[in-house]
Amino acid sequence: MMAAVLNRANIGPALVSVDIGHDVYAAVTDPNTAFWALVDKTRIAESLAGGPLLDAYRNKADTFARELHALRFELKPSGVYLNPTERCNLNCTYCYLPGEQRSGGSHMPTETLLASLGKLRDYFRSVMPEGHKPRAIFHGAEPMMNKDAVFAAIDAFADDFTFGLQTNGTLLNDAAVEFLTSRNVSIGLSLDGPSADITDATRRTWGGKSVHAKVLAAMGKLKGYGSWSVIATCTTENLPYLTQMVELFHANEVPTCMLNTVRCTLPGARGVKPSDGDMAKAFFAAMDRTHELYRESGQKLIVANFANILIGILAPTARRLMCDISPCGGGRAFFALAADGGLYPCSEFIGLPSFNGGNLLTDGGVEAALASAAFQTVTTRDVDTFSPCNECAIRHFCGSPCPAEAYEMNGSMEKTGAFCEFYKEQVNYALRLIADGKADDYLWDGWDEDTETVFDLTL
Amino acid sequence: MTQTVKTQQPAEAAAKTQPASPTIAIRKSCNPDGIGLSHYVLMDKKSAK
């Protein structure tokens, strides 16, 4: 339902009320600044009519507007996603990279990767404050297929970047785990099912072999390491098993997981896309289960994609993920380097040649890519400027991800992404947790250590 | 999710005889440095351990 706005143009910012499905509380928000408050459902009209809440907000509205504008439009890149190879040993149903690249593509030569990181280091030094390390994430297709180059780069640039690695986990032997963990590399794995038959439905080798047991073995090797996570991509194939998924992760002491909606950029993914309603039902059952497990054991399993929604509400600038903000982080907070040296706003666009912003080493480099039409198409996608997002009360908690999906699946950058209603339900769920005083149970311990409380009103 | 402007309904008026639950409004701020995305979250903070 479209948000209706109480017009307060003459006396201050406009607020809208949102039914969050809570017994006691409703939300009131100013969508333009991502301000929110939870008010007694029986007192909504008087809360909006005036009084201490509105007075306190009006004193801060300009500050909040400036903060959100800076987050949305004034960031400089501080991270890069590196694709050291086009190849992958798996053929996952929903991959955003074209199959012909993954099966028969090329590796980036070691010397090219080292030269690229040198150029990227120089770029980041020019835009980041002294003392802040940029992040470099080896990410696609399967970085461990080009392990020698990746490991050489991690050692050569240990002083210049904080490194991460997203891998399918099948090539993580003891020596590789020792190398990566001894260098504090943040490691992400992928697993789609609590049992092999479920994982196999979407993640198998090109020859159709199961990799479930190999990923479980990699999880076992990482147990006790602080900086690792596991992604489960939610599809029609594993949705009934999400609760069992989080039980498996918790039993294996996974500190952080993501239960991501499948990205529908390429057609293969759309064949396993769940409905918003089915996604919400399964997702919240799994979230409820993580909370039960935490209460029973004292051990948290953080679901990072949901935690990010929650943090985006409590502290907009403390987001760790830059998908659920508009414009998204692609081409702003980070960018991607393809194995052929091409620069893209995000790895999600690597299969779409029109989003190539030029070659890092042979064209104009990062600055030229950031200014290119290819990047600007993404970085100017603004939920304030197109319907229905521009009338949505939670548009700056959601950001209408993902632009690649909107463009390829829905036909335009000025369309919503693939899971509009599910995002609204996540925001409702998050606000209900805040109303019930449970938000911290769903967040990393110490998540707000580097934040300052700038608004705290209990009336 | 429904997004509606609430007007005072009969039940709402009746409920006003009860004390209102306290309003909750919190916002925190910091220097933004997030670079994660749906394919990856970098766990390099102390809180991840």
Q: Which residues of A110-131 are buried (b: 16+ CB within 10 A; e: fewer)?
A: bebbbebbeebbebbeeeeeee
Instruction: State the DSSP code for A257.
Output: E
Q: Using CB atoms, pick whichever of A228, A452, A455 lies closest to residue B43.
A: A228
CB contact under 8 A, B25 and A67: no
Contacts of A427 in chain B (CB under 8 A): 1
Cα–Cα dist A449/B48, whole Å? 12
State chain B's mean pLDDT as an integer. 70
The pLDDT of residue A354 is 95
Residue A268: pLDDT band (50, 70, 90) is: confident
Q: Which residue has the higher pLDDT, A46 or A148?
A: A148
Q: Which residues face A458 on adjacent strands?
A: B24
The pLDDT of residue B15 is 55
- CA of B13 to nearest chain A CA: how many angstroms apart? 7
What mean pLDDT comes out for the span A298-317? 97
Q: Using CB atoms, pick whichever of A4, A35, A38 lies closest to residue B5.
A: A4
Residue of chain B whose Cα is closest to the Cα of A451:
B30
CB contact under 8 A, B38 and A132: no
Q: How far is CA A37 from CA A28, A288, A365, A455, A457, in A?
A: 5, 24, 44, 10, 9
Is A25 within 8 Å of A38 (Cβ atoms)? yes
What mean pLDDT comes out for the span B11-17? 58
Kindly report, residue by residue over A176-215, the tens digit of the pLDDT. 999 999 999 999 999 999 999 999 999 999 999 999 999 9
The pLDDT of residue B23 is 95
Residue of chain B whose Cα is closest to the Cα of A348:
B39
Q: Which residues face A36 on adjacent strands?
A: A29
- CA of A236 to nearest chain B CA: how many angstroms apart? 18
The pLDDT of residue A458 is 74
Complete domains list, chain A, with CATH: 1-74 (no CATH), 76-447 (3.20.20.70)
Contacts of B17 in chain A (CB under 8 A): none
Cα–Cα dist A58/A64, whole Å? 10
Q: Which residue has the higher pLDDT, A175 or B38?
A: A175
Test mutation, B35, B42, B46, B47, chain A, max A CBs within 10 A? B35
What mean pLDDT comes out for the span A425-437? 98
The pLDDT of residue A307 is 96
Q: Which residues does B47 contact at the CB level (< 8 Å), separation at least 6?
A: A444, A445, A446, A447, A449
Q: Which residues does A168 contact at the CB level (< 8 Å), separation at least 6?
A: A88, A89, A90, A142, A144, A189, A190, A203, A211, A215
Q: Using CB atoms, pick whichever of B1, B27, B37 lies closest to residue A454.
A: B27
Locate A98 and state its tokens. 């074209």
DSSP A308-356: HHHHHHH-GGG-SB-SSSSS-SBTTTEEEE-TTSBEESSGGGTT-GGG-
CB contact under 8 A, B1 and A18: yes
The ipTM estimated for the assembled molecules is 0.91
Locate A109 and state its tokens. 């030569």
State chain A's mean pLDDT as an integer. 94
Kindly report, residue by residue over A128-142, the tens digit of the pLDDT. 999 999 999 999 899
A-B contacts (CB, under 8 Å): 232
